[in-house]
Amino acid sequence: WMNDWRVYSSADMVNWTDHGSPLSLASFSWADGRAWAAQTIKRNGKYYWYVCAHSKLSGAMAIGVAVGDSPTGPFKDAIGKPLADGNWDYIDPTVMLDDDGQAYMYWGNPDPYYVKLNKDMISYSGEIHKVARPAHYQEGPWFYKRAGKYYLAYASTCCPEGIGYAMSDSPTGPWTFKNYIMAPTDKSRGNHPGIMDYKGKSYLFYHTGLLPKGGSYGRSTAIEEFKYNTDGSI
């Protein structure tokens, strides 16, 4: 039962600064619970923060978007309503801006969905598409592009959940399962990857319940460095 989203920053991936909570359920007039997974992306000098929360409008989960001038905020609800609403599948948004300027948003449990975002990043065009589920897909997708290849990493094989990944030559699939990035983590019923390259190294963010008093719903954030093979596989 989370009520806030928080921001931390680091220049070396070791020492971290806590910037508090520049966004919370109170930031969205339509939300009344479950401040769950989120992702932020920069475009045109603005930072767009995509979140999921329980919607008092539909009584189900919904995806919202906030906007700010800085990664540390302040942030405000960009549209005053959910970007996508009305389905318990609508959790864990992940957004990627492709080389041609087209932005895509994926999300979903137990099936992945995607939609094409407009250039304003707060609306979308066309239909919402349900995607054929890659092997072992559960939830928590993380969508990105690297060296011309598209990746969909995700929490897999509940429960507990590990992290698997699939690859594609297209941002809309089809997705081919490649392997597990990590085995299911002890005590953590849920998981959620975040993947990035920083200062010449590649990093995986994920959940663990291994700290004292940790457990299935008492999770901490952890980071591991990893490497890519020459064919792009992890």
| 214 pLDDT above the threshold of 80 | yes
Greater model confidence, 216 or 221: 221
Q: How is 126-147 classified by DSSP, letter by letter?
A: EEEEEPPPPTTEEEEEEEEEET
Helix (H, G, I), strand (E, B) or coil at 172: coil
Q: How many CB atoms lie within 10 A of CB 118?
A: 13
pTM confidence score: 0.96
Q: Side-chain half-sphere of 86: how many Cα atoms within 13 Å?
A: 4
Mean pLDDT of 99-114: 97
Task: Note the pLDDT of residue 116.
Answer: 98
Task: Note the pLDDT of residue 203.
Answer: 98
Task: Note the pLDDT of residue 232.
Answer: 97
Residue 210 confidence class, pLDDT cut points 50, 70, 90: confident
Q: What are 26-84's pLDDT values in tens digits?
A: 999 999 999 999 999 999 999 999 999 999 999 999 999 999 999 999 999 999 999 99
| 86 pLDDT above the threshold of 90 | no
Q: What are 142-168's pLDDT values in tens digits?
A: 999 999 999 999 999 888 899 999 999
Q: How is 80-99 classified by DSSP, letter by letter?
A: SS-SB-S-TT----EEEE-T
Task: Note the pLDDT of residue 64.
Answer: 98
Q: What are 162-202's pLDDT values in tens digits?
A: 999 999 999 999 999 999 998 887 667 889 999 999 999 99
Q: Which residues partner with 156 through β-bridges?
A: 137, 162
Q: What are 111-147's pLDDT values in tens digits?
A: 999 999 999 999 999 999 999 999 999 999 999 999 9
Establish whether the linkage from the previous residue to 71 is cis, with ω within 30° of 0: no
Helix (H, G, I), strand (E, B) or coil at 211: coil
Task: Note the pLDDT of residue 219.
Answer: 87
